[in-house]
Amino acid sequence: MKIDLNTLTIRKVHDALIKGEYSAVDLARSYLSEIEMKNKDLNAYLEVYDDVLEQAISADKRIKNGNATLLTGIPVAVKDNILIKGRRAGSASKILEGYTASYDATVISKLKDAGVVFLGRTNMDEFAMGGSTENSAFGTSKNPHDISRVPGGSSGGSAVAVASNMALVALGSDTGGSIRQPASFCGLVGLKPTYGSVSRHGLMAMASSLDVIGSIAKTVEDAQIIFDCIKGRDPMDSTSIDLETKPSTLSPKPLVVGVPRAFTESEGIDKSVIENFKSSLEILKKQGFEVVDVSLPTIEYSLAVYYIIMPAEASTNLSRFDAVKYGFHKAGKNLLEDYELSRGEGFGKEVRRRIILGTHVLSSGYYDAYYNKAVSAREIIIEDFAKVFKSVDVIATPTTPSPAFKIGEKSDNPLAMYLADIFTVSANIASIPAISVPSGFAEVEGKKLPLGLQFIAPSGGEETLFALSKNFLKK
């Protein structure tokens, strides 16, 4: 049975499954055959599960018994840093060689309860550190719009899987842009929810005060459906909350969209991005929204603050990978040498760089100068956003300063790579929700490369983000 995967959405699949137009097994087979055809070249999956059809059979039983949910039978790809009991998980790192998860992440339990079909685990930058998947220990994923280019990262494999019909939706994690940036590079929707609204239990920690799990999807509604399933307070994550989502404010009064103009047009932003952003704002105006310039003077410091706080937290989190309890191990002459050899070889270059950076900013004598200062600056950025949200409902920026770059183009220049996060990190610093939606294409070397528009809302403003994004995409 041939199913046209291009136009599928969760709701369409659900209706078709309920009507019996095709079964969850038919659907799973269609995705598996796409994976079979494309994964060799695109490297989206590190592993495709061997029980996909069994999972689909269970979904079909549930549908037959009349107790299916909207997500029963939906094929989902999972980033390699989210644990599924009994399955391999490794954050695309050599140090977790052979590690099998002993429990389900809370988001996974929720999706299992809903009856989804897990297709496999997706490639990523090692421990979610990067924006291209070039830091994976298992090769770079390729952007399906131009395979000489990166798909973005760190959830790059998840984005490639969805963009090339190797999954209907995918889970990712976002610490500084890792859902939104690959979504933007691959022409998809990416949601980074409010910090704490989704449990982090079972997500391999990168920077605990910034990490959040979200989804990459083809439509806003699909991202919303996944969010609705996985959100909620969880006793296993003390930072999780039952989010008080504010109802969408699209009507009766038109939404006010704020643009931090000085920032969105600053030096180094690609011309194609600025042009595309301007036309997106024109669309919003035509749709009746009020677009106003806002001043967010501290937003430009978000990146500097991020690259202190993130490595500080990551260096602490990654100290648990001692190569003794699990994973890759290289024996030396004594315990210290064991650590040095195993961590020196088990971790890739970027991860080691961030561990060293993080350890440095936390070390005595530098703690006040770097870490504490960054924490204070974070407070000021949070206040700055709060001030602006008194007069606007949503803030708009491009998602990335350029379209997808070439594989290898930035890999020798970590600073250039870090600058690719310029528009995304501030939402993580301020713990607020943000979404990236496709906003058009840049024509580069005869290829059409997707661009993204980012909307940022105050805490709990997800419904507004969904409503505004859906409206914008109707253009």
CB 238 to ligand GLN: min, Å: 21
Q: Which of 13, 25, 128, 166 binds ligand GLN (CB under 6 A)?
A: 128
Question: Considering beta carbons, is residue 30 or 400 the nearer one to ligand GLN?
Answer: 400
- Closest C-alpha to 121, from 66, 44, 173, 59: 44
Q: Based on CB atoms, which residue is closest to ligand GLN, 63 or 269? A: 269
Distance CA 135, CA 137 (A): 6
List 23, 154, 402, 411, catalytic entry: 154
Q: Sign of dihedral through CA atoms 411, 414, 415, 421?
A: positive
Residue 178 designated active-site = yes
The verdict on 129 binding ligand GLN (CB under 6 A) reads yes
Q: Which span sits near ligand GLN by CB under 6 A: 6-14, 125-133, 386-394, 405-413?
A: 125-133
Q: How far is CA 219 from CA 6, 183, 464, in A?
A: 12, 11, 15
User: Is 181 or 240 the residue whose CB approaches ligand GLN more closely?
Assistant: 181
Enter the DSSP assignment of 331: -
Please tell me the distance from the alpha carbon of residue 248 to that of residue 463, in angstroms, as a whole number. 5
Q: How far is residue 414's CA from residue 399's CA, in Å, rounded to a whole number?
A: 19
The whole-angstrom separation of Cα 9 and Cα 377 is 42
Spatial neighbors of 434 by CB under 8 A, at least 6 apart, are: 180, 191, 192, 424, 427, 454, 455, 456, 457, 465
Of 403-462, which residues contact ligand GLN (CB under 6 A)? 421
Of the listed pieces 60-68, 172-180, 238-246, 290-298, which binds ligand GLN according to CB under 6 A? 172-180
- 154 a catalytic residue: yes
Candidates 90, 115, 120, 130; binder of ligand GLN (CB under 6 A) is 130
Whole-number minimum distance, CB 308 to ligand GLN, in Å? Answer: 12
Residue numbers 32-61 binding ligand GLN by CB under 6 A: none
Nearer to ligand GLN, 127 or 289 (CB): 127
361: Cβ contacts below 8 Å, ≥ 6 apart: 308, 311, 312, 367, 370, 371, 374
User: For ligand GLN, which residue of 73, 90, 131, 157 counts as binding (CB under 6 A)?
Assistant: 131
Which two tokens mark 274? Answer: 């600025």
Kindly state the smallest distance separating residue 430's Cβ from ligand GLN, in Å: 14
Question: How many angstroms separate the first and last alpha carbons of the chain?
Answer: 34
Q: DSSP string covering 143-156, please?
A: BTTBTTB---SSSH
Pick between residue 130 and residue 398 the one whose CB is nearest to ligand GLN. Answer: 130
Tell whether residue 206 is a contact of ligand GLN (CB under 6 A).
yes
CA distance 145 to 444: 11
Q: Please tell me whether residue 314 binds ligand GLN under the rule CB under 6 A.
A: no
Give the nearest residue (CB) to ligand GLN: 178
- Residue 137: helix, strand or coil by DSSP? coil
Asked if 245 and 460 count as a contact pair (C-beta separation under 8 A), the reply is: yes
Q: Which stretch binds ligand GLN (CB under 6 A): 55-63, 129-137, 315-323, 452-460?
A: 129-137
Q: How far is the CB of 451 from ligand GLN (least distance, A)?
A: 18
Which of 73, 90, 176, 452 is close enough to bind ligand GLN by CB under 6 A? 176
Written as one string, the DSSP assignment of 389-445 is: TTT-SEEEEESSSSSPPBTTSSTT-HHHHHHTTTTTHHHHHTT--EEEEEEEEEEET
* SS3 label, residue 370: helix
Catalytic residue among 155, 164, 178, 197: 178
- Least distance (Å) from ligand GLN to the CB of residue 108? 19
Q: How far apart are CA 283 and CA 472, in angstroms?
A: 7
Choices 98-106, 175-183, 241-249, 432-440 (CB under 6 A): range interacting with ligand GLN: 175-183
Q: How far is the CB of 329 from ligand GLN (least distance, A)?
A: 26
Give 175 or 219: the residue with its C-beta nearer to ligand GLN: 175
Nearest Cα to 351, choosing from 85, 46, 90?
A: 90
Q: Among 38, 79, 192, 218, which one carries the catalytic annotation?
A: 79
User: Does the protein bind ligand GLN through residue 154 (CB under 6 A)?
Assistant: yes
- The Cα 140–Cα 42 span in angstroms is 8
Residue 203 engages ligand GLN in binding (rule: CB under 6 A): no
Q: How far is the CB of 212 from ligand GLN (least distance, A)?
A: 9
- Positions in the binding site for ligand GLN (CB under 6 A): 128-131, 154, 174-178, 206, 310, 421
**Which residues participate in catalysis according to the annotation?**
79, 154, 178
